[in-house]
């Protein structure tokens, strides 16, 4: 379901935006428009939608119009043309009063430089939205404290923002946005001002939080690694226009233009990384000799797996079994697993480049086994860990 629909959105800075849009549509370049006509393009005709519950990362270098775009969504910046629909409500048509109501009920926003109110305590910051909404003091404080706990800031509610570190300040920013329980989180380079280690922590925590709260998140970033790690889908922008929309794999594997290619190239480690770098340890396997159907099923259950690799004593990979077949075998009274092993499974060797793995793993219904030259099982790759490993630079 589409939560946010953006259609042909323009933001032109200058005295005659309508005229400038016409020129743009006729093919005038952004530079010409600025130099010859005195209009700057913030957003130049952008259309996309955001699905309920997804993290959409809008990525681009500075000046690509991504911050302007996100501010058009809640009309902190008034769009010059185009239509924005949220839950079927046309945002552009709202009066000031209606807009304030929508901002209070649907949007939470997190800012690059935190934008906390320095004269208010952490709790007062967190409850700001509720205060504006007119929730009574006791109740809003209760909610604020709950949200602060959610972001790991219990015990700091009476401090002032200046007394906290950057990472903690942005947690307050997040708490302030979450306290209204909005459907949509707009995050404008929310983690860009944090140092790399803390940034990575905050990204993990955001993903964690998203598991629990399932918001629709529009995340602005200039960092490809961040986009790959967080985004369900990525919108890549340049000069106020969208260059490519797609899943992280799409962007990495099928760059739409030379620009995306170059962009991805700089940070793309999939060519240098091999299976060995991105694989995970195998937690458990079933042994060809020792495990019968009952033992194999128990191992699957303990680890929450639906499939299990079968190895010999020396760790040589034989094949794979599924939970379904194994329980059938158990009912039949089979003593060992030989009947149900699927031997024809995809494997890669430890030195396979990560870029090739993308193609193999795409649509593969089971985890990809990584083996060495002697066909011994070395590790396993699943789609999620592959992306995470790339996002973190393969460390």
Residues that bind other proteins (CB under 8 A): 74, 76, 99-104, 107, 109, 111, 113, 115-119, 128-129, 131-133, 160, 162-163, 176, 180, 186
Give dist(CA 384, CA 381) in Å, integer: 8
Q: Cβ of residue 160: shortest distance to other proteins, in angstroms? A: 4
- Edge-to-edge strands, sheet with 40-51: 40-51, 2-13, 81-86, 89-90
Q: Is the Cβ of residue 116 or residue 282 nearer to other proteins in the bound state?
A: 116
C-alpha dihedral sign at 292, 294, 295, 296: positive
Closest by CA to 394, choosing from 359, 355, 361, is 355
Q: Measured from the CB of residue 215, what is the shortest distance to other proteins in angstroms?
A: 15
Do the Cβ atoms of 128 and 190 come closer than 8 Å?
Answer: no
Q: Which is nearer to other proteins, 24 or 73 (CB)?
A: 73
> CB-wise, 47 or 105, nearer to other proteins?
105
In whole angstroms, give the CA distance from residue 177 to residue 179.
Answer: 6
**Nearer to other proteins among residue 43 and residue 116 (C-beta):** 116
Q: Which helix (H) or strand (E) holds 170?
A: helix 166-178
Describe the chain by its helix, strand, coil percentages, rounded to 5: 40, 25, 35
Q: How far is the CB of 190 from other proteins (least distance, A)?
A: 13
Residue 221 or 268: the one with the smaller Cβ distance to other proteins is 221
- Min separation Cβ 123 and other proteins, Å: 14
Phi, psi (deg, nearest 5) at residue 74:
-105, 20
CB of 79 to other proteins, least distance (A): 16
Which C-beta is closer to other proteins: that of 51 or that of 104?
104
CB of 104 to other proteins, least distance (A): 4
Distances (CA, A) of 69 to 4, 153, 218: 13, 31, 10
Query: Residue 99 or 288: which CB sits closer to other proteins?
Result: 99
Least Å distance, CB 187 to other proteins, is 12
- In the chain, how long is the greatest CA-to-CA distance? 83
* 8 Å CB contact between 340 and 321: yes
Element (H, E) at 209: helix 196-213
Task: Enter the DSSP assignment of 339.
Answer: G
DSSP code, position 93: G
The smaller minimum CB distance to other proteins, of residues 186 and 348, is found at: 186
CB of 308 to other proteins, least distance (A): 50
């Amino acid at each position: 379901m589409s939560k946010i629909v953006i259609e042909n959105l323009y933001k032109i800075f200058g005295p005659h935006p309508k005229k400038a849009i016409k020129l743009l549509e006729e093919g005038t370049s952004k530079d010409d428009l600025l130099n010859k006509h005195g209009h700057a393009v913030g957003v130049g005709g952008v259309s996309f939608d955001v699905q309920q519950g997804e993290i959409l990362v809008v990525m681009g270098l500075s000046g690509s119009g991504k911050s302007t775009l996100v501010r058009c969504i809640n009309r902190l910046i008034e769009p010059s043309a185009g239509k924005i629909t949220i839950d079927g409500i046309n945002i552009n048509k709202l009066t000031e009063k209606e807009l304030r109501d929508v901002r209070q009920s649907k949007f939470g926003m997190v800012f690059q430089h935190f934008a906390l109110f320095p004269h208010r305590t952490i709790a007062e910051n967190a409850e700001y939205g509720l205060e504006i909404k007119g929730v009574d003091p006791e109740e809003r404080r209760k909610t604020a404290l709950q949200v602060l706990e959610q972001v790991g800031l219990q015990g700091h509610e009476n401090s002032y923002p200046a007394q906290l570190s950057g990472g903690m300040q942005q947690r307050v920013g997040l708490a302030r946005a979450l306290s209204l329980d909005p459907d949509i989180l707009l995050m404008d380079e929310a983690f860009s001002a944090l140092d790399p280690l803390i940034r990575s922590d905050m990204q993990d925590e955001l993903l964690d939080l998203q598991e629990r709260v399932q918001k629709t998140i529009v995340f602005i970033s200039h960092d490809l690694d961040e986009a790959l790690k967080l985004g369900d889908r990525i919108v890549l922008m340049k000069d106020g226009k969208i260059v490519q929309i797609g899943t992280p794999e799409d962007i990495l594997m099928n760059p739409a233009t030379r620009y995306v290619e170059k962009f991805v190239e700089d940070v793309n480690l999939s060519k240098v990384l091999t299976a060995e770098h991105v694989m995970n340890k195998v937690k458990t396997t079933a042994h060809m000799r020792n495990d019968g159907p009952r033992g194999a099923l128990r191992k699957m259950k303990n680890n929450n797996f639906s499939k299990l690799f079968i190895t010999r004593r020396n760790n040589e990979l034989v094949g794979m079994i599924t939970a379904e077949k194994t329980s059938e075998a158990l009912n039949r009274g089979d003593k060992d697993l030989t009947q149900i092993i699927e031997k024809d499974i995809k494997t890669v060797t430890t030195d396979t480049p990560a870029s090739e793995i993308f193609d193999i793993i795409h649509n593969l219904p089971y985890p990809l086994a990584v083996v060495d030259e002697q066909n011994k099982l070395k590790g396993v790759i699943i789609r999620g860990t592959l992306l995470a490993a790339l996002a973190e630079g393969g460390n």
